[in-house]
Amino acid sequence: MRELFFLTGNPGKFHEATVIFQDALLDINLQQDPTELVEIQSEYLENVAMYKLRYYVDTLGNRDRSCFAEDAGFFVTGHLNGFPGVYSAYVQKSIGNEAILWLMDGEADRTCHFSACIAFFSAITGEYSTFAGTVEGTVASEQRGTGGFGFDPIFIPDEMPEVTFAELSAEVKSSISHRGRALAQFISFLGENPDVL
């Protein structure tokens, strides 16, 4: 069975990816490597994910391992110019969902999206590839639901305008989520290019 390493310290993200890979019935042994990597400040998820990956492969010298890194963010384009974007994890930890709701108080344009980017390195070909996923939605007027994590309780996906991400099961959320979509693209690529692993 071919090995593939997901470079993440987040057990929730790893679990989500494991389930999706199992469902895809690919002959791949997905493993977690929680090595701490360097995250750069950039407005582009792709740059952050790619830098993490190159740091692991080139700087730490893991050219013999096929692996991927991921970065994701919550972008409030209505009223907040894309904030918190690539700094979502920090903003979530420091001021949280209530601060976002307060900043959006009374605002009509509540457009937002989640985006994720996966950067993949093939130890066989030596090449890098990226895969992106996005889900459009609106900022809720209050927190709802207990599932998911982060900004999920204030995100209402356009596909299901009655619920927040935190009110969905993990399976349903993955079927439309930014990360689920990026992983689906990645898995489709792996299926079509069996020689990269």
Contacts with a second copy by CB under 8 A lie at 38-41, 43, 48, 51, 80-83, 85, 87, 90-91, 93-95, 99, 102-103
Pairing of strands 28-33, 111-121: unpaired
Q: How far is the CB of 30 from a second copy (least distance, A)?
A: 26
State which residue, 36 or 195, has the beta carbon closest to a second copy. 36
Q: Per DSSP, which regions of 108-188 are E strands? A: 111-121, 128-139, 155-157
User: CB 83 → a second copy: shortest distance, Å?
Assistant: 4
Q: Active-site residue 109, yes or no?
A: no
Minimum Å gap between C-beta 26 and a second copy is 32
Cβ neighbour number for residue 7 with a 10 Å cutoff: 25
Catalytic residue of the set 23, 27, 64, 71: 71
Question: For residues 54 and 65, which CB has a smaller minimum distance to a second copy in the complex?
Answer: 54
Contacts of 61 (CB under 8 A, 6+ apart): none
Q: How far apart are CA 6 and CA 139, in angstroms?
A: 30
Residue 35 Cβ, how far from a second copy at the closest point, in Å?
A: 15
Judged by beta carbon, residue 33 or residue 39, the one nearer a second copy is 39
Instruction: Single out the residue of 74, 101, 98 nearest to residue 87, CA to CA.
Output: 74
- Whether cis (ω within 30° of 0) applies to the bond prior to 84 is yes
Give the residue carrying structure tokens 């009223």: 79
Considering beta carbons, is residue 82 or 145 the nearer one to a second copy? Answer: 82
- Cite the active site residues: 71
